[in-house]
Amino acid sequence: MPTETLAGETAVNDVVSIEIDGGIGLIALNNPPVNAASHAVRSGLWQAVETLRKADGVEVLALYAKGRTFIAGADIREFGKPPADPWLPELCNFIEGSTLPIVCVLHGTTLGGGLEVAMSCHARVALKGTKVGLPEVTLGILPGAGGTQRAPRLAGISYALDMITTGRQVSAEEALEHGLIDRITDGEPRAVALAAAQDLKDGSLSQRRTGDLVATPDAAAIETMRAKLARTQPLLFSPHKCIDAVAACHLPILEGMKEERRLYEECMKSPQRAGLIHAFFSERAVTKIPEASQEPRQISSIGVIGGGTMGSGIATAALLAGLPVTLTERDEAGLGRGVQTITGNLEGAVKRGKLTAARRDEILGGVLAGATDHAALAGADLVIEAVFEDREIKKAVTEQAEAVMKSRAIYASNTSTLPITSLAQASKRPKNFIGIHFFSPVDKMMLVEVILGKRTSDRALAMALDYIKAIKKTPIVVNDSRGFYTSRVVMTYIREGLMMLADGVPAAMIENAGKMAGMPVGPLSLGDEVALDLAWKIVSATRKDLGVKYVEGPLDNILEEMVVKQERFGRKNGKGFYDYKGKDKSLWPGIPEVTGQPKPAESFNIEELKQRLLVMQALETARIFEEKCLTDVREADVGSILGFGFAPYTGGTLSYIDMMGTAAFVDLCKKFTRKWGPRFKPNKLLKEMAKENATFYGKFPPKPEEKVRDAA
Ligand code: 3H9
């Protein structure tokens, strides 16, 4: 093809274009939002290389992407559809086999198939700030376009194994250090592509074709990783397949890729893949907040009452999102502690590169204000209360704050359990009263549970959602009830752990069962994190509120003994079910003094213990759904994974039931009811669904436009 015809940008198809500039063939991708390697990208890219290869005078090719990122992976939306040529692995091999050298320019988050395309190019340049990763394992699959063969060749087996089995994103600097990329530079992708291609042409940037490289054998790294995953993730399917695939990298690359493909197909068939990909899309769906039909609303300043760990975390999140914050505390000492915690949080953000030192100084120089008088909250559009979980204290601060707040400002309680409608009784403007439940630690936990009281208005909800969007967290919206959704389910997990203790299950076995079931921590450990005295307070408040209706159980005795008699409150005072020494912890040897001597481990079936822990949480979710506290099946799933780490491979609590089949789930509940007690009784909704052979997603299809809904 004559060069002149390619002067300026020429479209190959809707998402790929080419141009020729001084002997350099430029290929640009433009497939928003994340340049996923869809069929159009793959075929366009193939055609682009083919065309430029034949063009007169082109000596070197450079590939870059427009928009926010280079390719962020294969197009997950195409999974499950019939394969369309070229497949990504074929494309990668085609790129690698190109006689004309190809350099690519990475920016944004170059992930999965995107990094695989990059690794098949002959040199890789990244813009400053780029992150790269092979996150396939988080979707229940493995890098299936040569990633398991090329990463070890470029970066060594040990490092590749770590990246592939964790799915973590690494900085460009780290990628450079390990040889995954060849250079980091500043600039616009197109200009950098031109310059890099020029350097490739004149030899100042060297080619590294992965097919020519050999991964240094490292059997020890492979065996160490196998042993580690057998211990930490025995239940997950794809991490083990990732190791098998990397282990094939001693073969010639095309042979290794055949093995990779075989293992990839196995992962694609696994129900865990379905669960994890379902969770990926649900999470994004619940984050979407439709433009409300309400009047324009804007939150330009936040008030936070209470400078404890939660209050300081909430204040930090708002400050990092650019919102001015006024923090109030009851006295100077409390305020000082709060400001100190926030300052520490900001320091951490500077260290992690999330905040500039100059902005930190600005924040501490006035964007953050502190006061011991609630009058300081007069200018806030949204005030979030994060004081003790105590009705009387909450009532008093509500009254004091409302006395000075703007009439249309929103008041939110960060309660984790107390019903919002009852807390709103202290408010003169219950329409503007809402629950915004954060999780600890606030900076790490992405979920925020928004709770609607009986009289909460749509405007208050819309304001709360706007604010959560501003601080880049994922909201779920639930109707009012004791413990709402997440705390209520978390408590059942902890409670099941305590019930197992009462049944005589050895504590270590309970903890292992939790982790082996896919929970991030065992139930006793979680009890310690949540704080046993808080759990005891909640139990006592529930008992007081429910009066004669409250049914006492072994849980009350264990908690009372631990908290009241032994003063073991959990991690916060260094002793709970575990003894804590700095970062180390070990199970407290005195547990049998509280619960009685455990039975031998052989008396229990570990599979059944694992099921008990998951079934109990899923069952409680089904109850909450029946009570209409939860109304969106996706919010149930996302809330369970992001809020309390419910075994992510299941897709979430309701997907767990759907995947098992409602009838099988109900049968299991009945079996557990006979064996372990009435807390496992399936609810009416589940029994009906079992009869109809219905699934949650089939019977209650999610409607995205209902996110902002009438609270009445
Ligand atoms: C893979 O590569 C397999 C290969 O090894 C082998 C193949 C043979 N596909 O998260 P956001 C959508 S597996 C399709 O809100 P952010 C997402 O749904 C893939 N769509 O933005 C959303 O759409 P919508 C390995 C995708 O800035 C929109 O983009 N790669 C994909 O917070 C914005 O997403 C991964 O696992 C995709 N691959 O975060 C990366 N990715 O607006 C997965 C995103 O309609 N992606 N979308 O809801 C991510 O981690 C984040 O999306 C990313 C951006 C960090 C890229």
* Cα dist from 462 to 28, 74, 294, 297, 398, whole Å: 39, 34, 8, 8, 21
CA 162 / ligand 1 centre spacing (Å)? 21
Return the number of other C-beta atoms located less than 10 Å from residue 561's C-beta. Answer: 14
Ramachandran angles phi, psi of 404, nearest 5°: -115, -15
pLDDT in tens, 164-217: 999 999 999 999 999 999 999 999 999 999 999 999 999 999 999 998 899 999
Residue 648 CA to ligand 1 centre (angstroms)? 17
pLDDT of residue 456: 95
| Mean pLDDT to the nearest integer, 421-442 | 94
Instruction: Tell me which H or E stretch contains 111.
Output: strand 109-111
Q: What is the pLDDT of residue 353?
A: 81
Rounded to an integer, the average pLDDT of 558-582 is 94
pLDDT higher than threshold 70 for residue 584: yes
- Identify whether the C-beta of residue 521 lies closer than 8 Å to the C-beta of residue 529: yes
List Cβ neighbours of 212 (8 Å cut-off, separation of 6 or more). Answer: none
260: Cβ below 6 Å to ligand 1?
no
Residue given tokens 């200018």 in the structure block: 379
Q: Is the pLDDT of residue 500 over 70?
A: yes
Statement: residue 657 has pLDDT above 90: yes
Looking at the chain, the number of H-run helices and the number of E-run strands are 29, 20
Give dist(CA 259, CA 247) in Å, integer: 10
pLDDT, tens digit, 9 for 90 and up, residues 378-428: 999 999 999 988 889 999 999 999 999 999 999 999 988 889 999 999 999
When pLDDT is averaged across residues 243-248 and rounded to a whole number, the result is 98
Residue nearest to atom 15 of ligand 1 (CA): 284
Q: In what order do the strands lie in the sheet with 131-133?
A: 109-111, 131-133, 169-171
pLDDT at 293 over 80: no
User: φ, ψ for residue 218 (rounded to 5)?
Assistant: -150, 70
Q: How confident is the model at residue 1 (pLDDT cuts 50, 70, 90)?
A: very low
Report the percentage of the chain scoring pLDDT > 70: 96
Confidence band for 552, pLDDT divided at 50, 70 and 90: confident
User: CA nearest 682: which of 697, 658, 662?
Assistant: 662
Instruction: Identify the pLDDT of residue 336.
Output: 96
Which among 350, 151, 189, 280 is positioned nearest to 641, based on CA atoms? 280
What region does 484 belong to: left with phi over 0, alpha with psi -120 to 50, or beta?
left
Eight-class DSSP state of 143: -
pLDDT at 711: 28
What pLDDT is attached to residue 289?
Answer: 61
Does residue 112 line the site of ligand 1, with CB under 6 A?
yes
Banded pLDDT at 672 (limits 50, 70, 90)? very high
- Ligand 1 pocket: which of 15, 31, 34 to mutate (most atoms within 8 A of CB): 34
Residue nearest to atom 5 of ligand 1 (CA): 143
> Which of ligand 1's atoms lies nearest the C-alpha of 75?
9
pLDDT digits (tens, 9 = 90+) for 295-351: 555 788 999 999 999 999 999 999 999 999 999 999 999 999 999 999 999 999 999
Kindly give the number of the ligand 1 atom that is closest to the alpha carbon of 281.
Answer: 18
> Where do the structural domains in the chain lie, given as residue ranges?
3-269, 289-469
* pLDDT score at 704: 57
34 close to ligand 1 (CB < 6 Angstrom):
yes
d(CA 63, ligand 1 centre) in Å: 20
pLDDT confidence of residue 647? 94
Residue 144, ligand 1, Cβ within 6 A:
yes
Q: Which residues are catalytic?
A: 116, 136
Q: What is the pLDDT of residue 707?
A: 44
Give 47-101 pLDDT, tens digit per residue: 999 999 999 999 999 999 999 999 999 999 999 888 899 999 999 999 999 999 9
Q: What is the CA radius of gyration of the chain?
A: 28
Is 639 touching ligand 1 by the criterion CB < 6 Å?
A: no
What's the fold here for domain 289-469? Answer: Rossmann fold (3.40.50)
In short, whether 33's Cβ falls inside 6 Å of ligand 1 is: yes
Kindly give the distance from the C-alpha atom of residue 647 to the centroid of ligand 1, in angstroms, as a whole number.
21
Q: How far is the CA of 78 from the centre of ligand 1 (A)?
A: 12
Question: Average of pLDDT values for 355-363?
Answer: 93
Contact criterion met (CB below 8 Å) for 389 and 538: yes
pLDDT on residue 660: 94
In this prediction, residues 137-145 reach a mean pLDDT of 97
Give the orientation angle of helix 147-155 with respect to helix 113-120, to 10 degrees.
Answer: 60
- CATH 3.30.230.70 is the classification of domain 3-269: no
Own/partner long-range contacts of 295-298 (Cβ < 8 Å, ≥24 apart) = 295/459, 297/459, 297/462, 297/463, 297/466, 298/381, 298/466
> Does residue 642 register a pLDDT over 70?
yes
Mean pLDDT value across residues 500-518 = 94
**Beta strand 410-413 with 325-328: parallel, antiparallel or unpaired?**
unpaired
Instruction: Please give the average per-residue pLDDT across 349-359, as a whole number.
Output: 90
